[in-house]
C-alpha cells in the first residue's frame, strides 16, 4: 500500500533521517523475527515486497507519507525504518530475510529506463536482492522490458495506482507478453487500497490476464480492499499469486479488514500466497506482519509455505539462498 507518487509539488521536505537503530533495539527485534522462522523450521524468510529505490526518489516517497498525500488515504503513516540504504539492507539480513526485492516504479514516461538502470547497479551490489525492474506505458515499453529481462531481472513491479495508467493499455501489451513468455513474475499494485485510482480494481488487470493467461502476476497487498475479487482471479488463473503486504496487520484491519469468510480460500491457495511486507515504508515493526499472519490460525505448514517455500520455489533459491538457476 505504501506506494506513492514520488514528486508531488506540495510535499514538504522529508523529516530528518533516523540514525542507525540503536543496537539494543535492533538486536531485540531481529531476535524476535528470527524466533518466528526458526520456530517454523525454516532457513529464513523470502520477502517479495520491499522497497529500495534511488535515494532522492525514496526521500520524496517518505515526504509524501509525512504530508499524508491523497493516495495514502489520509491516514497517519509514521515510517518505521527511515535509515540509510546500507543500514536498511543490513537490517533485513539481520532479520534473516534470505531474498528480498527492490520494488520501484515510475509515475511518468521516461522514468522506467532510468529506474531500471539504477536497479541493475543495486542488484550488483546487493546479492540477496532479487534483481527488480519496472515498466510504464510508453512506446518503448516492450523493448525496455526485454532489455531488463536479458539483463537478469527476476521480478518486476508495476504500480497502477501511482502510475495512474490502464494496465490493459495497448502500449503495455508487448511488455506483458515478454514477461509471460519469460515466466518472470510481476508484482502489481492493482487493488484500490489505500485509495482508489482511475484504473485500480480487479477489472482492468483481468483484461490483461485474458490476453496473457500465463502471466505470473503477483497481486500486491492481497488486492485490498477487493480481496475476494482478486482471490477469484487466482482461482481462475493458476499463475496468479498474491502477496501479503500489510494485510492482516492492526493498521490495515482497522481500515479494510480481511473478510473472515474468505479464510478457507486463503488456506486453499496456500501455495500461491507470498510474504510481502512493504519494508521500510511501514508504520509498525517488521515482526508485526509475521505475527499478523500467524494469528490467522491457518497452521504451521501454511506459514512455512507463505513465508519462505513459495517464494523460494518461484525464484529458484537453493538451500543456501543462492539461485539454483544460476
Ligand atoms: Zn509497496
Q: Which domains, from first to last, does the chain contain?
A: 28-314 (3.20.20.140)
Closest CA relative to residue 105, chosen from 187, 198, 201: 187
Are residues 179 and 149 in contact, defined by beta-carbon separation less than 8 angstroms? Answer: yes
Tell me the CA–centroid distance for residue 319 and ligand 1, in Å.
27
Helix/strand/coil (H/E/C) assignment for every residue in 127-150: CCEECEEECCCCCCHHHHHHHHHH
- How large is the greatest C-alpha to C-alpha distance in the chain, in angstroms? 52
What's the CA-to-centroid distance between 260 and ligand 1, angstroms? 24
Look at phi and psi of residue 153 and say left if phi exceeds 0, alpha if psi is from -120 to 50, else beta: beta
The DSSP bridge partners found for residue 218 are 187, 241
Quote the ligand 1 centre to 275 CA distance (angstroms): 12
HSE of 10, CA atoms in CB hemisphere, 13 A = 5
- Across 182-191, b (16+ Cβ under 10 Å) vs e yields eebbbbbbbb
Here the cell at position 92 is 533485513
Asked if 219 contacts 234 with a C-beta cutoff of 8 angstroms, the reply is yes
Assess contact for 240 and 212: CB atoms under 8 A: no
d(CA 180, CA 175): 9
Q: What is the pLDDT along the chain (326 residues), one digit of tens a residue?
A: 444 444 333 333 334 455 555 666 778 899 999 999 999 999 999 999 999 999 999 999 999 989 888 888 888 898 999 999 999 999 999 999 999 999 999 999 999 999 999 999 999 999 999 999 999 999 999 999 999 999 999 999 999 999 999 999 999 999 999 999 999 999 999 999 988 999 999 999 999 999 999 999 999 999 999 999 999 999 999 999 999 999 999 999 999 999 999 999 999 999 999 999 999 999 999 999 999 999 999 999 999 999 999 999 999 997 654 444 43
C-alpha cell at 292: 499478523
Cell of 56: 532522492
Nearest Cα neighbor of 126 from 52, 26, 34 is 52
The whole-angstrom separation of Cα 48 and Cα 119 is 15
Share of the chain above pLDDT 70, in %: 90
Residue 274, strand partner residues = 243
Q: How far apart are the first and last CA of the chain?
A: 32
Specify the pLDDT at position 22.
63
Q: What pLDDT does 325 receive?
A: 44
**Cell numbers found for residue 324:** 539454483
The values of phi and psi at residue 309, to 5°, are -65, -40
pLDDT of residue 133: 98
Q: Which of 273, 308, 300, 299 is nearest to 97 (CA)?
A: 308
What are the pLDDT digits (tens) for 108-151? Answer: 999 999 999 999 999 999 999 999 999 999 999 999 999 999 99
- At residue 326, the pLDDT reads 38
Task: Identify the pLDDT of residue 69.
Answer: 83
Q: What is the pLDDT of residue 74?
A: 82
Residues, CB within 5 angstroms of ligand 1 (ion): 2-3, 278
How many angstroms separate the alpha carbon of residue 258 from the centre of ligand 1? 18
pTM for this model (two decimals): 0.91
Q: What is the pLDDT of residue 95?
A: 98
The rounded Å distance from CA 48 to ligand 1 centre is 10
Q: How far is the CA of 84 from the centre of ligand 1 (A)?
A: 18
Tell me the three cell numbers of residue 301.
505448514
**Is the separation of the CB atoms in 17 and 83 below 8 Å?**
yes
d(CA 15, CA 273): 34
Instruction: In whole angstroms, give the CA distance from residue 163 to residue 221.
Output: 17
Q: Give the distance (Å) from ligand 1 centre to CA of residue 1.
A: 5
At residue 25, the pLDDT reads 75
DSSP state, 155? E
Amino acid at each position: 500500500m505504501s506506494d506513492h507518487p514520488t514528486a508531488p509539488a506540495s510535499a514538504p521536505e522529508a523529516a530528518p533521517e533516523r540514525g542507525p537503530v540503536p543496537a539494543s533495539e535492533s538486536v531485540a527485534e531481529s531476535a524476535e523475527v528470527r524466533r518466528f522462522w526458526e520456530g517454523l523450521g525454516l532457513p529464513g524468510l523470502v520477502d517479495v515486497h520491499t522497497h529500495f529505490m534511488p535515494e532522492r526518489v525514496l526521500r520524496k516517497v517518505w515526504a509524501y507519507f509525512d504530508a499524508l498525500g491523497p493516495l495514502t488515504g489520509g491516514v497517519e503513516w509514521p515510517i518505521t525504518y527511515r535509515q540509510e540504504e546500507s543500514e536498511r539492507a543490513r537490517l533485513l539480513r539481520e532479520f534473516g530475510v534470505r531474498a528480498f526485492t527492490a520494488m520501484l516504479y515510475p509515475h511518468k514516461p521516461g522514468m522506467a529506463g532510468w529506474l531500471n538502470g539504477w536497479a541493475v547497479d543495486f542488484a550488483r551490489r546487493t546479492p540477496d536482492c532479487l534483481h527488480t525492474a519496472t515498466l510504464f506505458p510508453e512506446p518503448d515499453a516492450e523493448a525496455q522490458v526485454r532489455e531488463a529481462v536479458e539483463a537478469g531481472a527476476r521480478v518486476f513491479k508495476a504500480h497502477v495506482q501511482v502510475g495512474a495508467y490502464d494496465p490493459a493499455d495497448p502500449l503495455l501489451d508487448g511488455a506483458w507478453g515478454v514477461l509471460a513468455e519469460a515466466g518472470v513474475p510481476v508484482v502489481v499494485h492493482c487493488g484500490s487500497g489505500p485509495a482508489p485510482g482511475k484504473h485500480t480494481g480487479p477489472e482492468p488487470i483481468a483484461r490483461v490476464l485474458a490476453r496473457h493467461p500465463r502471466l505470473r502476476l503477483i497481486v500486491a497487498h492481497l488486492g485490498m480492499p477487493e480481496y475476494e475479487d482478486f482471490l477469484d482471479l487466482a482461482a481462475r488463473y493458476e499463475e496468479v499469486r498474491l502477496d501479503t503486504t500489510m494485510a492482516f496487520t492492526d493498521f490495515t484491519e482497522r481500515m479494510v479488514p480481511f473478510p473472515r469468510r474468505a479464510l478457507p480460500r486463503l488456506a486453499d491457495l496456500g501455495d500461491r500466497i507470498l510474504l510481502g511486507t512493504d519494508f521500510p515504508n511501514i508504520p509498525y515493526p517488521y515482526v508485526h506482519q509475521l505475527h499478523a499472519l500467524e494469528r490467522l490460525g491457518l497452521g504451521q505448514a501454511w506459514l512455512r509455505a507463505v513465508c519462505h517455500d513459495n517464494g523460494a520455489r518461484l525464484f529458484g533459491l537453493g538451500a543456501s539462498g543462492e539461485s539454483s538457476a544460476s
